Amino acid sequence: MISHEMIDKAARLISGCKRVTALSGAGVSAESGISTYRDAGGLWDRYPEGSSGGILAVMTNHPEDAPQILMGFLEGIKKAKPNPGHRALVDLEEMGYLRAVITQNVDNLHREAGSSQVFEMHGNLYRLRCLKCNKKEIMGREPYFKMLEELINKMTRFSLEEIASNLPSCSCGGSARPDAVAFGEPVQDLPEAMAEAKACDLMLILGTSGVVYPAASLPGVAQSGGAKLIEINPQQSALTGRCDLFLEGKTGEILPRIVSSLREIQGKNIIPPES
Ligand code: OAD
């Protein structure tokens, strides 16, 4: 387990900052039961073509298994609830330190936990986007999974045409698709994410392998603007080398400890940042 000294060091770094931004990846949702992509047993570990082509490449290469693969992918997300890592980020926001969460996750868990400023670079699985009029609409968890499961249950093998013809309809008459970014599509919220990276004085790099761009370039942007970088991950990532502090472990365990340590520091009357 990571030492109290390391937690204290992270808390002291944060306590001296006014504008902290978090960059999160799949590891933050791992303790909510959602599998990461590249860890052992993750989707891209089992289907390596996914790391360069995403879920569509996996389904195209395994058309017969596609319904099972999709159901498996959705299963974890369907049951997931925010974990102590997500909630600690809300605490950091309420304490006046954290300004924004930039996430690569599509699972909506940062919003569900209560973070108010969330930039979702890879979109949000619960949002539908009309392919005709571009209207975006967030769906509730239950109707969303019911709709997807009905769609998948109709599939015997992967066929893009079949998926396209069964998508839900928008009020304009067009078809609406889940608004998660597929490989090759532009990322979302990029101007906002870049602005946060440039303006922050500390970036928390949480549960990401740091190999998917442009998200992986944001710590460099933050650092060029003078920000400190703290990473939390059970393993070193592609970004560890540039970090000021690396805390080896799970975000769901370490972030709440940092929050407690910050509360202690505040209790000792070290002046909190201005809101
Ligand atoms: P990865 O699967 O590449 O990396 C997950 C990271 O989380 C690894 O570095 C793990 O060591 C770490 N990790 C695992 N459990 C953790 C825990 N409990 N606490 C903290 N860290 C933990 O996932 P991402 O970096 O998010 O894109 O992947 C980036 C993008 O690649 C995804 O958004 C997805 C994928 O292809 C698209 O699908 C467009």
Six token digits for residue 76: 């974890």
Query: Best of 31, 38, 51, 190 to mutate for ligand 1, by most ligand atoms within 8 A of CB?
Result: 38
pLDDT of amino acid 37: 95
Eight-state DSSP code of residue 254: H
Domains and CATH numbers, the chain: 1-34+81-122+187-270 (3.40.50.1220), 49-79+124-180 (no CATH)
Distance of CA 38 from the midpoint of ligand 1 (Å): 7
**CA 210 to ligand 1 center in whole angstroms:** 8
Protein residue with least CA distance to atom 35, ligand 1: 37
Closest-lying ligand 1 atom to the alpha carbon of residue 39:
2
pLDDT band at 35 (very low <50, low <70, confident <90, very high): very high
Beta partners for 138? 127
Question: Is the C-beta atom of 39 inside 6 A of ligand 1?
Answer: yes
User: Strand, helix or coil at 229?
Assistant: strand
pTM listed for this prediction: 0.94
What pairing do the DSSP bridges indicate for beta strands 123-130 and 136-138? antiparallel
Residue range 240-251: mean pLDDT, rounded: 98
The Cα–Cα gap between 152 and 73 comes to 12
- Give the number of the atom of ligand 1 that is nearest the alpha carbon of residue 237: 9
β pairing state of 118-120 and 98-103: parallel
- Ligand 1 pocket test: which of 212, 217, 235 has the largest number of ligand atoms within 8 Å of its C-beta? 212
CB neighbour list of residue 195: distance below 8 Å, 6 or more residues apart = none
For the Cβ of 104 lying below 6 angstroms from any atom of ligand 1, the answer is yes
Q: Average per-residue pLDDT in the chain?
A: 94
Q: What is the pLDDT of residues 2-26, one digit of tens each?
A: 999 999 999 999 999 999 999 999 9
Q: What is the pLDDT of residue 230?
A: 98
pLDDT for position 116: 98
pLDDT digits 0-9 by tens, 201-225: 999 999 999 999 999 999 999 999 9
- Lowest average pLDDT, out of 69-83, 150-164, 177-191, goes to 150-164
pLDDT digits (tens, 9 = 90+) for 70-98: 898 888 999 999 999 999 999 999 999 99
Among protein residues, the one with the nearest Cα to ligand 1's atom 16 is 27
- Which of 95-109, 230-244, 259-273 bottoms out in mean pLDDT, i.e. has the lowest? 259-273
pLDDT of 272 over the 90 cut: no
